[in-house]
């Protein structure tokens, strides 16, 4: 897939805001285990769910299309190295992903905020990646912020579900050598984006599995914490969305 330009990131962000009320978001990120049946080197592909797989890491936009993908990591690599060592992860964490410069949230001024992706708590918090909070010891602001964060993050899960249900090859182990699986998955993602322009939304997916074992990154998080707090404060103020306060209790 071509790397998005600044203008493309801005367009993705605008669509996210229109559909989710979440500002400055350029994608939601997650990984999926794709079942396979390798003839050699099987131990490398044996994952924590006790089956063989390769990993698809993807960023989805608000229209359930894939913006960026990385495929081919061994299923056993259920730790931080999968995302960190991918081209996407390296560019995101080094701030070289060609994202737009910081911009004010809607109806605010004087405090521009960076453009971000949203992942779950397995990903390392950084200036350009927000994640959901562990559900413990949360103040009211963070409890409220979980709602828009989770609502936004679910988009990539839905995109994976649509992919799997459209291309039934993902409902059983792919019976080719892993080197060919990479090409099959990439082609499926490209076709997925093509048909998304006319298909409806179906999020059901019971055959592929979330990539829940990324592990926790070590590394600096100070800027990421500040950015996350700024987003959380926005949703407690001018960015409040209907019914979010019910998630405080």
pTM: 0.84
What is the rounded average pLDDT for all residues in the chain?
82
Residue with token string 């359930």: 64
pLDDT at 184: 93
| Domain ranges across the chain | 6-248
Share of the chain above pLDDT 70, in %: 82
Q: 144-153: per-residue pLDDT in tens?
A: 888 889 889 8
- Coil, strand or helix at 174: strand
What tokens does 158 get?
């839905």
Close Cβ partners of 62 (under 8 Å, ≥ 6 residues apart):
12, 15, 16, 18, 19, 20, 155
Q: 4-51: per-residue pLDDT in tens?
A: 999 999 999 999 999 999 999 999 999 888 888 777 667 777 667 777
More confident residue, 219 or 80: 80
pLDDT at 215: 38
According to DSSP, the β-strands at 209-210 and 53-60 are unpaired
pLDDT at 141: 85
| Residue 218 predicted with pLDDT over 60 | no
Task: Give the DSSP per-residue string, 87-131.
Answer: HHHHHHHTT-S-PPPPBPPTT--S--B--EEEE-TTSPPBTTEEE
Distance CA 238, CA 236 (A): 7
| Residue 208 predicted with pLDDT over 50 | no
| Mean pLDDT, residues 165-181 taken together | 87
| Residue 60 predicted with pLDDT over 90 | yes
Share of the chain above pLDDT 90, in %: 37
Helical packing angle, 140-166 and 222-236, nearest 10°: 100
| Residue 77 predicted with pLDDT over 80 | no
């Amino acid at each position: 897939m071509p790397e998005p330009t600044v203008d493309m990131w801005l367009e993705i962000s605008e669509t996210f805001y229109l559909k989710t009320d979440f500002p400055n978001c350029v994608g939601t990120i997650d990984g999926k285990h794709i079942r396979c049946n390798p003839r050699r080197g099987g131990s490398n592909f044996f994952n924590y769910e006790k089956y063989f797989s390769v990993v698809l890491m993807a960023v989805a936009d608000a229209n359930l299309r894939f913006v960026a993908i990385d495929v081919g990591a061994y299923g056993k690599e259920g730790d931080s190295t999968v995302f960190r060592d991918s081209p996407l992860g390296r560019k995101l964490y080094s701030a070289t992903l060609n994202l737009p410069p910081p911009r004010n949230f809607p109806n605010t001024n004087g405090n521009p905020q960076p453009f971000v992706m949203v992942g779950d708590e397995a990903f390392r918090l950084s200036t350009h990646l927000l994640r959901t909070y562990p559900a413990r010891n949360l103040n009211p602001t963070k409890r409220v912020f979980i709602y828009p964060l989770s609502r936004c993050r679910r988009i990539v899960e839905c995109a994976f579900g649509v992919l799997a249900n459209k291309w039934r090859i993902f409902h059983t182990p792919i019976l080719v050598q892993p080197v060919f699986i990479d090409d099959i998955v990439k082609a499926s993602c490209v076709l997925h984006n093509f048909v998304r322009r006319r298909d409806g939304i179906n999020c059901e997916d019971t055959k592929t599995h979330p990539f829940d074992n990324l592990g926790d990154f070590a590394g600096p998080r100070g800027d990421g914490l500040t950015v996350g707090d700024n987003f959380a404060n926005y949703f407690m103020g001018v960015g409040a969305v209907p019914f979010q306060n019910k998630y405080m209790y």
